[in-house]
């Protein structure tokens, strides 16, 4: 692996940064225009409450001076920050970036800014982030999953902050919830495999977060209902990756050569398993069937395309945003505390079943 040289340098003394000029504030504009700060504030934030000429003069002056509002001051005074924090387990998992996409547009449309925190699948880190964002005065919190530390729950309760819990079925949410039944999804995919005639169906799981455990439960109950063995179970708490999928496949085949299908608890694992099959010239699905979970874009392009459970993560984000907005904009009856929604899922059979 050839490596290419790194370099570093510092440019000749550039014209040093202009000394941090004093911030332009409402008062500056007011002074320049011979009016009071209130008028300026109104001209900018409640334009209808001010005369047309005033409004224009203020705007022009603000632009000229390069005025930039100080939102900390604004939030402090008003008690509302227009900030909503989304806490996700992982940034690199496409599932969460799509959840984020679903949330962002509707929130932005109403003037809310979405903050992202990533917990690394740790409840402690989640607690830390909740504390951080609450102390920055977020108006709302969007969490993943249903398990949170006791202290996190207390802090949230005390703050009175709106909360939507995402991704799982959650019949008694902290506040509101949108998700899908991960257990049912795991069961449905397993049943689909059984329907296709597979009998020795293994399960491969990594990370073992809350949702993976629910999927695993679904796999178990489907097998149990069909009177099939639940012995072919390979789990690890290591982070999921494509490479890990290849490794786990190798290990499972060695331990249980009789396997005729493997349900991988996410698409990365499934892809890795598929690649390993290609390396070993094991035909998928003729020799062994594979399925993943989430239905990421990639699963539709592999050779063959991977079966997967398609989860509506983008819709989940969109609904979470809607609930949050309804709550925040006072439409409180539409979204009482305790409200939850199950957005379902669908099966993509691909070519690997």
Binding site for DNA (CB under 7 A): 23, 25-27, 34-39, 41-42, 44-45, 49-51, 53-54, 67, 69-70, 73-74, 76-80
CA-to-CA separations, 157 to 151, 154, 174, 297, in angstroms, rounded: 10, 5, 9, 38
* 34, 66, 227, 330: residue in contact with its own copies (rule CB under 8 A): 66
Identify the sign of the CA torsion 144, 169, 244, 351.
negative
Gap between the Cα atoms of 65 and 56, Å rounded: 14
Query: CB–CB of 350/299 below 8 Å?
Result: yes
Gap between the Cα atoms of 142 and 117, Å rounded: 10
Gap between the Cα atoms of 158 and 149, Å rounded: 14
Minimum CB separation of residue 309 from DNA in Å reads 45
By CB under 8 A, is residue 72 in contact with its own copies? yes
Residues 82-121 within binding reach of its own copies (CB under 8 A): 91-92, 94, 97-98, 100-101, 113, 115-116, 118
Q: What are phi and psi of 284, to 5 degrees?
A: -115, 120
Minimum CB separation of residue 46 from DNA in Å reads 8
Minimum CB separation of residue 262 from its own copies in Å reads 16
Nearer to its own copies, 50 or 83 (CB): 83
Tokens for 305, please give them. Answer: 């395309």
Binding to its own copies by CB under 8 A, coded x per residue (else -) over 217-236, reads --------------------
Nearer to its own copies, 199 or 241 (CB): 241
Q: What residues contact 44, with CB distance under 8 A and at least 6 apart? A: 58, 59, 62, 69
Nearer to its own copies, 52 or 297 (CB): 297
Gap between the Cα atoms of 34 and 226, Å rounded: 82
| Residue 226 site contact among its own copies, DNA, none (CB < 5 to 8 Å, cut-off depends on kind) | none
Q: Supply the DSSP symbol for 299.
A: G
| Residue 12 site contact among DNA, its own copies, none (CB < 5 to 8 Å, cut-off depends on kind) | its own copies
Minimum CB separation of residue 251 from its own copies in Å reads 15
| Residue 194 site contact among its own copies, DNA, none (CB < 5 to 8 Å, cut-off depends on kind) | none
Gap between the Cα atoms of 77 and 83, Å rounded: 15
Residues 300-319 within binding reach of its own copies (CB under 8 A): 300-303, 310
Nearer to DNA, 32 or 37 (CB): 37
Residues 189-218 within binding reach of its own copies (CB under 8 A): 192
For 69-101, the DSSP string reads --HHHHHHHHS---EEEEEES-SS-HHHHHHHH
Residues 3-22 within binding reach of its own copies (CB under 8 A): 3-14, 16-21
Nearer to its own copies, 52 or 63 (CB): 63
Tokens for 44, please give them. Answer: 């900018």
By CB under 8 A, is residue 54 in contact with its own copies? no
């Amino acid at each position: 692996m050839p490596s290419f040289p790194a370099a570093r340098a510092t440019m000749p003394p550039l014209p040093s940064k202009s000394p941090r000029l004093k911030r332009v504030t409402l008062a500056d504009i007011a002074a320049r225009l011979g009016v009071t700060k209130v008028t300026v504030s109104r001209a900018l934030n409640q334009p209808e409450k001010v005369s047309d000429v005033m409004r224009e003069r203020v705007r022009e002056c603000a632009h000229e001076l390069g005025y930039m509002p100080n939102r900390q001051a604004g939030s402090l005074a008003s008690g509302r920050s227009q900030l909503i924090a989304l806490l996700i387990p992982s940034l690199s998992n496409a599932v969460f970036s799509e959840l984020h996409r679903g949330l962002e547009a509707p929130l932005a449309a109403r003037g809310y800014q979405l903050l992202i925190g990533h917990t690394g699948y740790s409840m402690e880190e989640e607690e830390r982030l909740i504390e951080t964002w609450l102390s920055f005065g977020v108006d709302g919190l969007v969490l993943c999953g249903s398990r949170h530390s006791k202290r996190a729950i207390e802090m949230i309760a005390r703050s009175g902050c709106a909360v939507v819990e995402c991704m799982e079925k959650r019949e008694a949410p902290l506040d509101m919830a949108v998700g899908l039944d991960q257990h049912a999804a795991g069961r449905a995919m397993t049943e689909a495999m059984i329907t296709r005639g597979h009998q020795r169906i293994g399960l491969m799981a990594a990370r073992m977060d809350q949702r993976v455990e629910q999927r695993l439960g679904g796999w178990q109950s489907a097998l149990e209902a069909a009177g099939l063995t639940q012995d072919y179970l390979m789990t690890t708490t290591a982070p999921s990756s494509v490479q890990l999928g290849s490794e786990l496949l190798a290990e499972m085949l060695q331990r249980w050569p009789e396997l005729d299908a493997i349900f991988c608890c996410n698409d990365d694992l499934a892809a890795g398993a598929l690649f390993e099959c290609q390396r070993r010239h094991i035909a998928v699905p003729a020799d062994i069937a594979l399925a993943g979970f989430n239905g990421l874009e990639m699963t539709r392009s592999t050779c063959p395309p991977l079966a997967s459970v398609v989860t509506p993560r983008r819709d989940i984000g969109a609904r979470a945003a809607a609930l949050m907005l309804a709550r925040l904009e006072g439409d409180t009856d539409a979204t009482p505390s305790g409200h939850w929604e199950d957005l379902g899922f669908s099966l993509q059979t691909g070519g690997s079943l």
